[in-house]
Structure 1
């Protein structure tokens, strides 16, 4: 990245109404989060998509959605659960097709417990990969044909290399890496993971998406940027070394502070 990157944000449609002028002033990337609940994906998501098209008239950035994750595990050992997860991913792709969405955020299967037990049973590492392929294989193939990319976000991940190797195993242009700065900060502060900038360094050119939030290393705070102790200077220094042009998405709890968070990065000379 030579020029300062342009940050976008994660919002629901009601938050888009509040931040619409800011969103449209530059080609800011947007991640819609209205399509996470199963009730929406299995219900009348079309009316939500219609409202999205109205509100986003004039939007010039890249459009993504946060995919389903609540109660789901992409590496479940239960075939019935895998079938439900696969169904939800297919529904998310229906939304993506209707809105010309090019990126869907989904969650990593790796937990803190799993990190300490991956080598406690023979073939456990490979089993996580195999089960994820069984769950997501068809969805990733459909995404390839649709021009969409799934990005796998760290949640409890302690070793970023595990998630990277899982994504690499698909060998697909439709599967890439996502980093959540607050999740990585939690893992660093509470479970002994490497610092957040190391997650960026490990992802390298496979990085396609970043959730920018501030935190304290204890919990998943989703604070406005500048409220916690996440080292954004170190993160952006590593981002400057890669050419994959990841979407930089402010994802905070208080959506009224999105613009202030972007201003915080601008004041640090990191983004616009």
Structure 2
């Protein structure tokens, strides 16, 4: 709070503060654990997706997400576009054994654009090479904003593999 003598005004900057942020993390973790238990009861994999660099979103860092997932014994959805937007190289993206689901889209690294594969600057040669070296055999899906970009992306993949 700021008070100025003689100005007749006071000003307060309201914000959520660390307590709210801590509570968000706590409740999110509790929710993830509950969902993980439910998924286990059903005999299915639960995957948590890494998020793009947007203020307020959790799990933007693959290393932090992987540590959390190891702790609560669930799996990762690797969103390649989000990881690229978060500064992870193509070589780093498949360093995690908990990946069970992959989302593919392209962007220029500045924002999560969900563009057709081959239209941004993600190194998909390296992505597919690292995926093969990691012996990844889970789900891979194209996640683009324009339905026409699905065909373009599939044609791009076909030329690469």
TM-score band w.r.t. shorter chain? 0.7 to 0.9
Question: TM-score of the superposition, structure 1-length normalised?
Answer: 0.46
Q: Any idea what SS the aligned residue of 1:149 has?
A: coil
Q: Any idea what SS the aligned residue of 1:200 has?
A: coil
Residue 265 of structure 1 corresponds to 157
Does residue 1:180 correspond to 2:82, yes or no?
Answer: no
Distance 1:162 1:249 in 2: 24
Does residue 1:133 correspond to 2:19, yes or no?
Answer: no
Question: TM-score of the superposition, structure 2-length normalised?
Answer: 0.75
Q: Displacement of 1:176 after TM fit? A: 0.2
Question: When the two structures are aligned, how many residues end up with a matched partner?
Answer: 136
CA contact (8 A) 2:60 2:86 kept: yes
Q: Displacement of 1:196 after TM fit? A: 3.2
Name structure 2 gaps, 5 residues minimum. Answer: 1-19, 54-58
Residue 224 of structure 1 corresponds to 116
The superposition leaves residues 217-249 of structure 1 with CA deviations (integer Å, 9 ceiling, x where unpaired) of: 011111011111110111111111224522111
Distance 1:218 1:212 in 2: 16
Name structure 1 gaps, 5 residues minimum. Answer: 1-74, 83-127, 189-193
The superposition leaves residues 3-27 of structure 1 with CA deviations (integer Å, 9 ceiling, x where unpaired) of: xxxxxxxxxxxxxxxxxxxxxxxxx
The superposition leaves residues 173-228 of structure 1 with CA deviations (integer Å, 9 ceiling, x where unpaired) of: xx20111111112111xxxxx31330222x1x211011100100011111011111
Residue 66 of structure 2 corresponds to 164
CA contact (8 A) 2:62 2:83 kept: no
Distance 1:76 1:178 in 2: 24
Q: Displacement of 1:140 after TM fit? A: 1.0
Q: Displacement of 1:158 after TM fit? A: 5.4
Q: Any idea what SS the aligned residue of 1:223 has?
A: coil
Q: Any idea what SS the aligned residue of 1:249 has?
A: strand
CA contact (8 A) 1:206 1:244 kept: no
Choose between structure 1 and 2 for higher RCO, CA contacts under 8 A separated by at least 6 residues.
1
Residue 5 of structure 1 corresponds to none
Residue 152 of structure 1 corresponds to 48
How big is the alpha-carbon RMSD for the aligned residues of Structure 1 and Structure 2? 2.1
Q: Any idea what SS the aligned residue of 2:66 has?
A: helix
CA contact (8 A) 1:76 1:131 kept: no
1:255/1:76 Cα in 2 relative to 1: closer, same or farther (>3 Å)? Answer: farther
Q: Which has the larger radius of gyration?
A: 2
Distance 1:158 1:218 in 2: 14
